[in-house]
Chain A
């Protein structure tokens, strides 16, 4: 078990260790009576994290890149698209439709033809590279 590493990686570590529970760092092995969270002095401490930014992640250059960069990154990183299989034109159209109508993505309707053109180009490149990665996500 890697509980010790986990402990060190959290803000709770200091409190747990101060509480004398460091000796229980073998937690999670399932041994009866060895789970600090079953103890009455177990406490929960507020957590705050800073998630990594993906502001520098853009779609690779190509026809329609501007449209997809401007319309598809408000809700998710480009990698969600760039790890997909080489979808057909109809499948890409259905995906963009799902994003707009089911998930209410604020996609500019006028940009849709360019977005689809980009995605079709992505599939074509992916097929050429025989399923390899055309660009890092």
Chain B
């Protein structure tokens, strides 16, 4: 309670401070001094530019959506450099402004409790030494990645396409840790919470749950490393949950509590938030409100051209290299195709090295650029389950799961 009270007091003090400052200040909000330049996300019908910032510790240049709680997006150019996203360019998203700014490795404990034979608390040394380590690449993608591109608009974090990243994760199997505590018969859900707490005492703490059989599948990981290094604090140091093939909302950061439930998790973040239409690709007609809902879950195929962007001027009358990244969603990439005739005909691209089915896969192609004019390049991924991206952008009232075929339009002509 003491901690909650102190948080509330801090918030209220802040309010008073702001009140006194606000009364005397006629300050007009201008671009903060630390914002060196603007990045245009190409969002339709709403503010489209964001500052680029380098002011977040452990982070390189990021697109700033919100300082507090932090929302930082990865510029698309980063994805052109390789299929693994560097830790210092990996996107950041927190729900509550009470992000812990310090984590002590020695005193940190992970608690496994609830419907188990015996409650246990693990140190980081326990996790490093007492369990078999596993590693695999996996894409961490925000449920609302690309929300800013939705038409008609959807309220929320107005992301471009860069609320995603792929890393090599290293850690231990969630299954092994749960078995150490002993999951009792009748377990239904396993609920995860981090060190971050709700800002207001009676507001819902951020927690997410997986079905018990999913939690025990041997793939879900408690990760202590990202691309061979410990996690940046902003990405969840010291440990975070890795749920390969599923949206980032389940990848709980600063994981501190694993609670086995003998009933379905009915708290806010599972029962009310992050719900999607129970339709293919979560797609419904714009404006639709009444439809069966389910909790967001598996990812779906997507692909992006990364060496070109809308409006680029390229040399005409010769071959144009087109390359980028693709993801299969909850399984691998089978093929990536491109079209320069509005989707009437498609040409298969050359796929790069397969680093693992849950990670990005590079593709490369060459198209004939007309001497002058404009060239619209569409890119479509089909996954190993033969699921292809839909031709049209999807829509739902939460702005989740965008996966429609992307188009990059460049102008061709004389170019130095």
Judged by a CB distance under 8 angstroms, whether A106 is at the interface is yes
Evaluate contact between B65 and A83: CB separation under 8 angstroms.
yes
Chain B residues 18-33 with CB under 8 Å of chain A are 18-19, 22-23, 25-33
Q: Is the interface of B mostly helix, strand, loop or mixed?
A: loop
Evaluate contact between B47 and A5: CB separation under 8 angstroms.
no
Evaluate contact between A37 and B229: CB separation under 8 angstroms.
yes
Closest to A78 in B: B29
Closest to A26 in B: B228
Q: Return the contact of A75 from the options B87, B97, B227 (Cβ within 8 A).
A: B97
Q: Which residues of B are found within 8 Å of A10, using beta-carbon distances?
A: 58, 229-230, 232
Closest to B86 in A: A2
Nearest-neighbour CB distance to chain A for B392, whole angstroms, equals: 20
Q: Return the contact of B68 from the options A7, A46, A50, A51 (Cβ within 8 A).
A: A51
A103 to B272, CA, bound (A): 13
Q: Which residues of A are found within 8 Å of B230, using beta-carbon distances?
A: 10, 12, 44-45, 47
Nearest-neighbour CB distance to chain B for A118, whole angstroms, equals: 12
Q: Return the contact of A47 from the options B23, B168, B233, B272 (Cβ within 8 A).
A: B233
Evaluate contact between B168 and A27: CB separation under 8 angstroms.
yes
Nearest-neighbour CB distance to chain A for B9, whole angstroms, equals: 11
Q: Which residues of B are found within 8 Å of A102, using beta-carbon distances?
A: 203-204, 268, 272
Judged by a CB distance under 8 angstroms, whether A52 is at the interface is yes
Known interface pairs A44-B238, A75-B11; A6-B66 also in contact (CB < 8 Å): no
A3 to B84, CA, bound (A): 10
Q: Return the contact of A51 from the options B101, B137, B229, B238 (Cβ within 8 A).
A: B101
Q: Which residues of B are found within 8 Å of A104, using beta-carbon distances?
A: 198, 200-203
Closest to A74 in B: B11
Nearest-neighbour CB distance to chain A for B317, whole angstroms, equals: 36
Judged by a CB distance under 8 angstroms, whether B153 is at the interface is yes
Evaluate contact between B86 and A5: CB separation under 8 angstroms.
yes
A28 to B148, CA, bound (A): 30
Which of A28, A29, A132: most chain B CB closer than 10 A? A28
A70 to B14, CA, bound (A): 9
Evaluate contact between A6 and B155: CB separation under 8 angstroms.
no
Evaluate contact between B18 and A69: CB separation under 8 angstroms.
yes
Evaluate contact between B124 and A51: CB separation under 8 angstroms.
no
Judged by a CB distance under 8 angstroms, whether A30 is at the interface is yes
Closest to A81 in B: B66
Q: Is the interface of A mostly helix, strand, loop or mixed?
A: loop
Binds A, one of B49-57, B113-121, B328-336, B382-390: B49-57
Evaluate contact between A76 and B228: CB separation under 8 angstroms.
no
Chain A residues 56-83 with CB under 8 Å of chain B are 56-61, 65-66, 69-71, 73-80, 82-83
Closest to A129 in B: B47
Q: Which residues of A are found within 8 Å of B237, using beta-carbon distances?
A: 44, 47
A105 to B8, CA, bound (A): 10
Q: Return the contact of A35 from the options B32, B56, B60, B228 (Cβ within 8 A).
A: B228
Known interface pairs A2-B88, A131-B44; A76-B58 also in contact (CB < 8 Å): no
Evaluate contact between A37 and B228: CB separation under 8 angstroms.
yes
Known interface pairs A27-B168, A131-B46; A77-B68 also in contact (CB < 8 Å): yes
Nearest-neighbour CB distance to chain A for B291, whole angstroms, equals: 19
Judged by a CB distance under 8 angstroms, whether B271 is at the interface is no
Known interface pairs A35-B170, A71-B15; A42-B225 also in contact (CB < 8 Å): yes
Evaluate contact between B47 and A82: CB separation under 8 angstroms.
yes
Q: Return the contact of A87 from the options B71, B155, B204, B224 (Cβ within 8 A).
A: B155
Evaluate contact between A35 and B135: CB separation under 8 angstroms.
yes
Nearest-neighbour CB distance to chain B for A60, whole angstroms, equals: 5
Q: Return the contact of B228 from the options A24, A47, A134 (Cβ within 8 A).
A: A24
Evaluate contact between A27 and B15: CB separation under 8 angstroms.
no
| Those 8 A-B pairs whose CB atoms lie nearest each other, nearest first | A27-B228, A37-B225, A28-B227, A2-B86, A85-B153, A37-B170, A104-B200, A136-B31
- Contacts A1-B82, A84-B155 aside, 13 further interface pairs with beta carbons under 8 A come to A6-B86, A9-B58, A10-B229, A28-B227, A35-B168, A42-B128, A49-B58, A51-B70, A56-B33, A58-B22, A74-B199, A102-B268, A106-B12
Question: Can you show 26 pairs from A to B with CB atoms below 8 A apart?
Answer: A1-B81, A2-B88, A3-B229, A5-B88, A6-B87, A9-B60, A28-B227, A35-B225, A37-B229, A38-B170, A42-B225, A45-B230, A52-B55, A58-B27, A60-B28, A61-B26, A61-B27, A77-B67, A78-B29, A79-B64, A83-B66, A103-B203, A131-B46, A135-B30, A136-B35, A137-B50
